Amino acid sequence: MPKELWTIGRLLQWTEQYFLGKGVESSRLDGEVLLSHILGKDRIYLYTHYDEPLTKSELDAYRPLVIERGKGYSVAAIIGQKEFMGLSFTVTKDVLIPRPDTETLVEDILSFIPKEQGPYILDVCTGPGTILYSLLHYLPAATGLGLDISKDALAVAVTNREQLQLTERAKLCASDLFTALQKDPQYEKAFDIIVSNPPYIPSEEVKTLAPEVLHEPVLALDGGIDGLDFYRRLLTEAPRYLKAGGYLAVEIGYDQAEAVIELATRVGVYGDVVANKDIAGIVRELRWQKLGD
């Protein structure tokens, strides 16, 4: 950067141009978020202090973040934080970054479980704790267990559990889907609700994802040849751990509703499916109630 005086305004303009040149879509917003992160202020501050110069140490701290964003890392991964359901989650390169799409599932569950109820919730493939913790936060009497195959992801989930003050109500366990629960009879028909946002991108498509997504763990995205591997296992194995009348809710990819509903029908223990759409009108969540034993 040239040696003239770098005010907040000038730096934001420069960053926007730099990002545009790198093909970053939300070029203005991303610069604002990164700079407010460095300054420890909210975005409004940037506009109420538009003509104020930045110190050398602020500029030195900002520069590497801009370079990382230019390389395709998402802002969330760079600042290590992402908001989901009004809560702030710590994120790292080891986890799937919480996406607004997943709020469809969480909002659905919250829409019919009364606040005073204390369901026991299992989140399979919990990642940073996205679904489990947002449900526990808004259902103060609920308790839960989060499973993930990735120990690195679980370490992030531990951090979030502390930050969100859910250590008393949430347990975590390393597990390839339900595998860790198999030998312990206490988990049989134990859960009122099982939720999951498993990897569901067909293997061939993973390579074609946006650069921001390609910097996320493939393990959290790759759902096998047709993207449905985890639904096959989830739908057949979940009934063993779900109470009669309990709910199973999964996030699905934009074109997977029909195939996943068909899988559930074949398992034969679920009632009618409830399909919920995201704001774009695409079915992103499927939910079933387990029929009586």
Q: Counting contacts by CB under 6 A, is residue 231 touching ligand GLN?
A: no
2 is in an annotated binding site: no
Q: Counting contacts by CB under 6 A, is residue 286 touching ligand GLN?
A: no
Exposed / middle / buried, residue 184 (Cβ in 10 Å: 0-12, 13-18, 19+): exposed
Select 8 or 153, whichever has its Cβ closest to ligand GLN. 153
DSSP secondary structure code for residue 185 in this structure? G
Region near ligand GLN per CB under 6 A, out of 43-51, 59-67, 191-199, 265-273: 191-199
Region 49-108 residues binding ligand GLN, contact defined as CB under 6 A: 96, 99, 101
Q: Measured between alpha carbons, how far is 104 from 127 in angstroms, rounded to an integer?
A: 17
DSSP secondary structure letters along 102-124? GHHHHHHHHHHS-TT---EEEEE
Q: Counting contacts by CB under 6 A, is residue 130 touching ligand GLN?
A: no
Cα four-point dihedral sign 84, 175, 123, 166: negative
Q: Measured between alpha carbons, how far is 272 from 275 in angstroms, rounded to an integer?
A: 10
Amino acid at 261: I
148 is in an annotated binding site: yes
Region near ligand GLN per CB under 6 A, out of 24-32, 114-122, 148-156, 197-205: 197-205
How many separate helices (H) and strands (E) can be counted in the chain?
12, 9
DSSP secondary structure code for residue 97 in this structure? P
Q: Counting contacts by CB under 6 A, is residue 124 touching ligand GLN?
A: no
Q: Counting contacts by CB under 6 A, is residue 196 touching ligand GLN?
A: no
To the nearest whole angstrom, how small is the minimum distance from the Cβ of residue 108 to ligand GLN?
A: 16
Q: Counting contacts by CB under 6 A, is residue 178 touching ligand GLN?
A: no
Contact positions toward ligand GLN, by CB under 6 A?
96, 99, 101, 197-201, 213, 221
